[in-house]
Structure 1
């Protein structure tokens, strides 16, 4: 890390947050287990090699690659009683788990799909890069192509995932992405506003700080949280968030017919209800995107990559 980047991060993040991030990044290549025998399968090169060999031998590899670039636009309405009238029909485009340097076309199909969509806010819920270690320059190059194609439209907000290094923040912000690291912003329409909070990765880095993320939007009647994964959904509900947008699981990525995932890339308490699609915890609604990219191996089966358009709707109390 160069001097200017370190200086920028020291000014931006709390000392303990930055230290924890950098310590875990330093050892990410070796940390395939944490807290006992928790496996991070995307780091297991042998598993990836065996899957690639099996798919190539059976003739399924090409189809999996084709599937990984066949994006599904999911349109959904989210009814929030506390939503200000001025935000009725406000649209949020969610792109998650880009892993863009791992895409076989480096994002061409994704850019084509996204450019035709109208929205009011774009949120990127983590995992910009394919690997969890090593150089990330290529991922930034391809991410910039995507952002350049859409940033003229509306505001773009992002968070980091478990694949992303904290040093990437400066470059991502220079592209026009407002990166939230346990921080928040407000979106205004007329005299009304909603709060958007974003936390650092709750999964591998265990770096989410909900209290800090939400402290400046307590007076907003509607509060939306961006988190990469599901680990803090119950805490977020207790903190009073109305909507929780995340990704991380890829919906399984490789699924049996009926979208039954072979690998559920999330801790056991969250595997059944929260691995993909819409869910609810108390008064808080949530959504887990299947993601736009892939990890481990860039293939998908019975689990198409997803672009999500959430339309916020006002309901009476």
Structure 2
């Protein structure tokens, strides 16, 4: 290969790489609604429509994302489940709560992730793809106003499931929840909510931010019908025809987002991992992996 042909080849590679990166920046704003159905309820009766929202990573001046969130109210969900990483900046709390005010009449539950507690850290954006699960630096970054965010969510009538159990009346049936703090920060203390599922409930749901296997195993062994999590960003950058390269936790890449199942302790739970609606401001791209919220319709099982 001559020097000129080598230069042309390198130029072509650079052009393709630049085009892919440019598309990734654009795709991070192509907000999408996913619709999923799963049969978990006792036979007979109506379905329960669950709106699963996660990983908004909301910063200043993201009105398009907020408009998408407000528009989800038209789906008329019976329940909202928010699995954390809502903000990246203190100024995002007020506009986020204003957008979620549209759901004030809808039962809801929530847990927090690392980017509800701490501001995102500046780092090489390619490290997200080349390292294992990310960790906070030894010196903690600035704390975000998570207490104000929690008060705002509770003001909507939503229940904080951080190491807490709760029973809500949803679409005329009792749904029992348990949740944990963020496993990615190792703040989870599942033993505080552990125990057998409620056999009288129409549905037992486990909620956590990051789908680490230790939490999925514990919730499944205790008999949760459904487990909801976020955190993974669907892999953030995927290869068409192959899928995600990473999950940013110890979950396998084949379950990086969407509906799957998990087995532990002789039980099997339905697992839904949200691909999320945002990115870190320091890695503001997604590729072959549009940002998403999910309307999860839980149907009655066949008699």
Structure 1 residues 65, 110: CA separation in 2 closer, same or farther (over 3 Å shift)? farther
- Identify which of 256, 276, 288 aligns with 2:273: 288
2:1 maps to 1:68: no
1:236 corresponds to 2:219: yes
Q: 1:273 to 1:127 in 2, by over 3 A?
A: same
Q: 1:144 aligns with which of 56, 77, 97?
A: 97
The Cα RMSD (Å) is 2.9
Count residues in correspondence: 253
Which one of the candidate residues 135, 159, 164 is aligned to 1:183?
164
How far the C-alpha of 1:59 sits from its partner, in A, is 4.8
Q: Deviation digits for residues 221-249 of structure 1, max 9, x if unmatched?
A: 32111111111111111111110011111
1:312 matches 2:298: yes
Q: Deviations over 1:262-316 (max 9, x none)?
A: 443122xx22332122211232110111101112422211000111011111114
CA distance in 1, matches of 2:108, 2:246: 31
Paired residue for 1:116?
Answer: 74
Secondary structure of 2:150 counterpart: helix
Q: Is 1:303–2:296 an aligned residue pair?
A: no
Query: Could you tell me the TM-score, scaled by structure 1's length?
Result: 0.70
Once residues 157 and 169 of structure 2 are traced to their aligned partners in structure 1, the CA distance between those partners, rounded to angstroms, is 19
TM superposition shift of 1:122: 0.6
Contact in 1 for aligned 2:79/2:170 (Cα 8 Å)? no
- Measure, in 2, the Cα distance between the counterparts of 1:141 and 1:175: 13
* 1:98–1:294 Cα contact (<8 Å) kept: yes
CA 1:171–1:152: 2 relative to 1, 3 Å: closer
Give the match for residue 254 of structure 2: 273
Worse overlay, 290-299 or 254-263: 254-263
**1:264 alignment counterpart:** 247
Q: What secondary structure is seen at the aligned counterpart in 1 of 2:115?
A: coil
Residues 190 and 179 (structure 1), Cα distance of their counterparts in 2 relative to 1, 3 Å cut: closer
